[in-house]
A = this chain, B = another copy of it.
Amino acid sequence: MKFFSLRCFFCFAFFAALPFTAVTGLAAAPDSVEQWGAFEAVFKGPAEGNPFVDVEFSATFQQDDKAVSVLGFYDGDGVYRVRFMPETTGEWTYVTHSNRPELDGQTGTLIVTAPSAGNHGPVRVRDLYHFAYADGTPYWEIGTTCYAWIHQPEALQEETLKTLADAPFNKLRMCIFPKWMVYNRTEPELYPYVGTPPATWDFTRFNPKFFQHLEQRILDLQKLGIQADLILFHPYDEGHWGFDRMGAANDDRYLRYVLARLGAYRNVWWSLANEWDFVKTKTVSDWDRFGQIIQANDPYHHLCSIHNQKILFDHTQPWITHVSLQDDRAEDAVRYLNQYKKPVIFDECRYEGDISQEWGDITAERLTGMFWKTLISGAYCGDGETYVDPNDVLWWSKGGTLHGQSPARLAFFKKIIDAAPAAAAPLSQKNTWGVEGEYYLAYLWDRQHAYQGLTLPDNASFKAEIIDTWAMTVTPVPGVFAGHIEIPLPIKPYQAILLTRISGP
């Protein structure tokens, strides 16, 4: 077998607007990529033996005194790739490292251009409890959940993307490994490992086609402005395929492979587990080791969390950037915020639906209310939908179309918060969110008040609007307001009142 050893076999960059398979051309001049885009350098190398295990491959990217080390990976057919997400513009150079001479010491240059429209960079923690894109644009999390959407037939995946394009969500929780549980007894087309389903796998040989498909789906989401909250391990296997019990060495290799392949995509979040405490095949020290592997091998410090069933993981761990919670008590938000001093997302607060399981039978009213209540408490929320379907296509797991009443209300919610000041946060007046002296949004959740009292500055004028978060109406209240006010409200739940400054110092 003959080995290729070109300086750079071909290099290309991913743009949000281009499909994964696009190749921008062979690199003669320095390659170009936009800031927070995914640069990729491709090399030919050994295909014999087991390159996933035998070949070490990485690269260091450098700009002035900044050096960033990234893992490379084997993509099958003797092809090796290394990806890099530059966080600054200008010229970067790189050099590869390998235990195989043909992959070692390869160098190149790339020019990082300004980000294109719609590219705000990855999402980061802002002001301890909140999120913003790297360019400073506020990120108001509105999550949804389609755990196993990438493991469904192609047509259903396309339908899911079509639904998401018209939906208000900007984060999607999704599993890398396929899912085997109630409503989910189907075999996917692709598996992450070479082998035969259900349970004969070579855990030392990844299936590049599976990961190429996963990457395509992450980029599809990126085009829609959606963060991919990637669930790295989960308990919904129970030995059917055995991806939940591969052993520490295979787990760690899998994690490094995922980090090498996916780390350069700006819309990736790491979720170590769904329901970590329900995964009986791993220990707390396993999860801690996983967190440390991510910390050591993700130079971009993507958001990283670990979702619980009943027992919260020790969220003081430094590798946990935010609390990703299963809890349907929005009133608990303040406790979590105070305890962990990190952003809090109620990623699973039960789903709108009518299945018999208690995690999937809440009303649209209650789910919509969770988003508003967590917001004004300083936290964020995630959605899911579980209506009984004759073909067992439930959005929460398989995607498809949405049937419930909450998505339209969440689009209304998004419209309101997108128009709010970037620095909006819980205020000292009860149930109130906004910016002191400027903007006050009081939300009453499932409660009903004949009057809403609020204290505004005396020396400024405000306009008042009553927001019916369920009926999706905004009704101006006649008059101009200042000082202490008491505004009559409709006697029904899910009402809010918004005071916006129209003049004053």
Q: Which A residues are closer than 8 A to B by beta carbons? A: 353-356, 358, 361-363, 366, 387-388, 444, 446-453, 491-493
Contact = CB atoms under 8 A, between A and B. Distances in A.
A306 to B, nearest CB: 25
A362 B447 contact: yes
Given A363-B493, A493-B363, A447 B388 contact: no
B450 A363 contact: no
Nearest to A361: B447
A155 to B, nearest CB: 25
**How many monomers of this chain does the complex have?**
2
Contact of A356 (B356, B361, B362, B449): B449
Contact of A491 (B354, B449, B491): B354
Contacts of A363: 446-448, 492-493
Given A356-B452, A358-B447, 12 more contacts: A353-B448, A354-B448, A354-B449, A354-B450, A356-B450, A361-B447, A361-B448, A362-B446, A363-B447, A363-B493, A366-B446, A388-B451
A444 to B, nearest CB: 8
Nearest to A329: B329
A452 B358 CA distance: 12
A140 B327 CA distance: 32
A387 B491 CA distance: 10
A291 B401 CA distance: 61
A449 B366 contact: no
A393 to B, nearest CB: 15
Nearest to A354: B450
Nearest to A350: B447
B366 A450 contact: no
A169 B492 CA distance: 25
B453 A356 contact: yes
Contacts of A356: 449-453
Contact of A449 (B361, B450, B451): B361
Contacts of A361: 444, 447-449
Instruction: Output the residue of A353, A355, A449, A492 with the most chain B CB within 10 A.
Output: A449
Contacts of A492: 363
20 contacts: A354-B448, A354-B449, A354-B450, A355-B449, A356-B450, A356-B451, A356-B452, A356-B453, A361-B444, A361-B447, A361-B449, A362-B446, A362-B447, A362-B448, A363-B446, A363-B492, A363-B493, A387-B450, A388-B450, A388-B451
Contacts of A387: 450
Nearest to A489: B354
Which 4 A-B pairs give the minimum distances between C-beta atoms? A361-B447, A354-B450, A388-B450, A354-B448
A355 B449 CA distance: 5
Contacts of A451: 356, 388
A10 B356 CA distance: 67
A492 B354 CA distance: 9
Contacts of A447: 358, 361-363
Instruction: Output the residue of A353, A448, A491, A492 with the most chain B CB within 10 A.
Output: A448
Given A363-B493, A493-B363, A355 B450 contact: yes
A317 to B, nearest CB: 29
